[in-house]
Amino acid sequence: MPREPFVAAVVVTYRRPASLLRALDAIRGQTLKPDLTIVVDNGGDAGATLSDREGVRVVSTGANLGPAGGYDRGLRLAIDGGADRVWTVDDDVEPEPDCLERLLSATASPAVALPTQVRPDGVESSPPAWTGAVIDAEVIRAIGYPRTELFFWAEDTEYFQRAKSAGFPRIRVAGARVLHHTEARARGSERTWRLYYEVRNTVHIRLGYRGPLWRRTWKLMPVVFGKPLAILAFEPGKRRALGLWWRGLRDGLAGRLGRVVDPGR
């Protein structure tokens, strides 16, 4: 009989102990449990919180590497540890009990399996994101690891697009469900450091895609024109927000990546 795949769950966390514990409880409660759970602690103190958790390996990065650096570290550890499949679980995700079992049974060939994500407002989708995707080890060995220089925003979109471009299918598994405990930014609220990375990475990644330049440029219109107009029309802190937008646009066009704006400030 063929052996069962060795499955490693990778959870990247940043100073959200309650959310992390909820995610780990959901992982532990799976009908088919992962063989190993790796928690990448992005500059917090998760080690003390999880000191008594059996089957959980906590790896401290010592600094905030963003989700790009966190999942780079976690995927490398999973593959080096012999994982056949890697289950990526953000710390604000709560998988339903049969989620992993359904994802694993959806395909036997190298692919990316995506669950159905349910947001607090009830909206359902299956985005190519770290929110519960199962990635075959062969996919990871073929395309490599997340681009750490992206730091934050769209690093998962870029990674899964790279897998698709390499010929690996995305399989959306309707019955595998995760609750994504995140709130969308309210329209009219003040912008934060996230705006810089959203603009920069969107511009950089879109321009790097294949296809006619006019099509790639057209898809950038909401970022290049839509965001500053929305800031001017609806949002407080206009001067700071426009500064973040402009820096992101400029650095995205110039290809200046890495951790530029400090989330801690």
Instruction: Per residue of the chain (265 residues), give pLDDT as tens.
Output: 345 899 999 999 998 899 999 999 999 999 999 999 999 999 877 777 787 778 899 999 999 999 999 999 999 999 999 999 999 999 999 999 999 999 999 988 899 999 999 999 999 999 999 999 999 999 999 999 999 999 999 999 999 999 999 999 999 999 999 999 987 777 788 999 999 999 999 999 999 887 788 788 888 999 999 999 999 999 999 999 999 999 999 999 999 999 999 987 7
* Antiparallel, parallel or unpaired: β 170-180 and 112-118: parallel
* Other Cβ atoms closer than 10 A to 148: 18
Q: What is the pLDDT of residue 108?
A: 81
Asked if the structure places residue 86 within a domain, the reply is yes
Last residue of a domain, one of 120, 147, 180: 180
In a shared domain, residues 48 and 156: yes
Reading the block at residue 98, the tokens are 């049969």
User: Is 261 part of any domain?
Assistant: no
Q: What's the CA gap between 143 and 159, in Å, rounded?
A: 8
259 belongs to a structural domain:
no
Residues 141 and 212 in one domain: no
187: left (phi over 0), alpha (psi -120 to 50) or beta: beta
Q: From 149, 180, 211, give the residue that closes a domain.
A: 180
In which residue are the tokens 């919180």 written?
Answer: 49
Contact between 162 and 155 (Cβ < 8 Å): no
| 164, 204: one domain | no
Q: Based on the domain organization, do 133 and 230 belong to the same domain?
A: no
Single-letter amino acid, residue 118? V
Q: Which residues pair with 60 in a beta bridge?
A: 41
> What are the start-end ranges of the E strands in 121-259?
124-125, 131-136, 170-180
Whether residues 131 and 108 share a domain: the answer is yes
pLDDT at position 216? 84
Residues 121 and 248 in one domain: no
Number of domains present in the structure of the chain: 2
Q: At which of 180, 206, 227 does a domain end?
A: 180
| Residue range of the domain that includes 213 | 194-254
Q: Are residues 18 and 130 in the same domain?
A: yes
- Tokens read off for 121: 């407002």
DSSP state, 263?
A: T
**Residue 113: beta bridge partners?**
134, 171
Structural domain includes residue 104: yes
Q: Is residue 94 part of a domain?
A: yes
- Inside any domain, residue 260: no
In-domain check, residue 120: yes
Q: Are residues 91 and 114 in the same domain?
A: yes
Mark whether 107 and 143 lie in a shared domain: yes
Same domain? 26 vs 86: yes
- Looking at the fold, whether 215 and 162 belong to one and the same domain comes out as no
One domain for residues 108 and 199: no
